[in-house]
Structure 1
Amino acid sequence: MSWWCFPFERLIGALQKINTNDHIGGEMEATIIKSVTRTANIRRWLCRPNCPEAVRQLKVMFDQCFKPVNGTAKLENPTQKGSQCAHVKWDNANFSRSKTHPGNATIIYRPFQNEKPIAGVIQEIQNVNKAGSSTIELHVRPFESLPKHLYDPFSRYPHLSAKSYSSTLREEADVITLDAIVSHAARFDYTHNRTVLVNLCRD
């Protein structure tokens, strides 16, 4: 719920275009999954900060050989006019303000460096010019903590990366930069004004 299905549809389109050499009955499926996983693993390895510089230089050629499905490579954050942005890309993920796309606006983030991550909803994305350089700031309203008299049923399952909050957002927004974002969060509202959020970190 509240999650954009286009990436999955796009993946299906990419799978349909893979050359299987007319192998069927198990061989076709193996060919598809091997091609996808090998390409994904190489891309992820090239994006790691500890990737050797000599190998990193080959990423340009790799991207030319394995282009996106639409055949175009987009800039991470192309220059946008005005002070307000509808969305922004960070760490190969798209983040939006709540009125643009609620699913992409729910995030896990650190309000201050080295603090414990919390959940919130992006309200505004702003281009800010400081000292002659441009930076992006996000205004995020965090979820209120769960009242003590309400039980969090997900606390018994720490490996699920799920936590319950109050469904109410705080009035005061935190102003953060992109590097404070931990990941997207999947949200589901259930009983007694409780909201469960699942950390969708890919690491």
Structure 2
Amino acid sequence: MPTQNLSKPERVDFVQAKLQALYPDPPIPLDHRDPYTLLVAVLLSAQCTDERVNKVTPALWQLADNPFDMAGVPVEEIKAVIRPCGLSPQKSKAIAGLSQILVDDYGGEVPADMAALETLPGVGHKTASVVMSQAFGEPAFPVDTHIHRLAQRWGLSSGKNVAQTEKDLKRLFPREKWNALHLQIIYYGREYCSARGCDGTVCEICTTCYPQRKRPKKTKKA
């Protein structure tokens, strides 16, 4: 265990090695069958746990599991099924709207294009990044509030906002590692460095990177 705080290059190397050792092949946490069901599942995960989304989506796929069928389902029916995920009025309209757009403009296929994805209802930069990385294998580094918080605790970003954190992480880590690292950080945060479980002075990554840190690390909200 080091006695001095690690330099930024040392922190980057340690974080990468530790996460790879713990999660060498991190699974995608949202259950899905194809790019479309992943897109909808990621949309539903906003302000909702992946666990809850995975409990809700089987009933939604029974209703419709492709944009052609979903575009024909009344918004109120979608809303009733996804209500446990929260924000159901907005999310149901977004699911219906994006399904119709996929049918009208993309032949029912989810476009493998970041800019095109970001034009769809309810699909922001983070959701588009997740779909690009997990459905199409394109290098992306989706940053949610948890990754934003951990990047600050580990001294990898100043943490002004999620956009800045994404830029910082992309600059620090090799492009070919982005997709795995996104998932590895999420899993590590849940298991060892959660909002309640670690304040920057408890988990192994925090204490190794900053052994001289005596007080909780105050993080900036996204």
Tell me whether the two structures share a fold, i.e. TM-score over 0.5: no
Q: TM-score range by the shorter chain?
A: under 0.3
TM-score by length of 2: 0.24
Structure with more strand by fraction: 1
TM-score by length of 1: 0.26
Structure with more helix by fraction: 2
Of structures 1 and 2, the larger Rg is shown by: 1
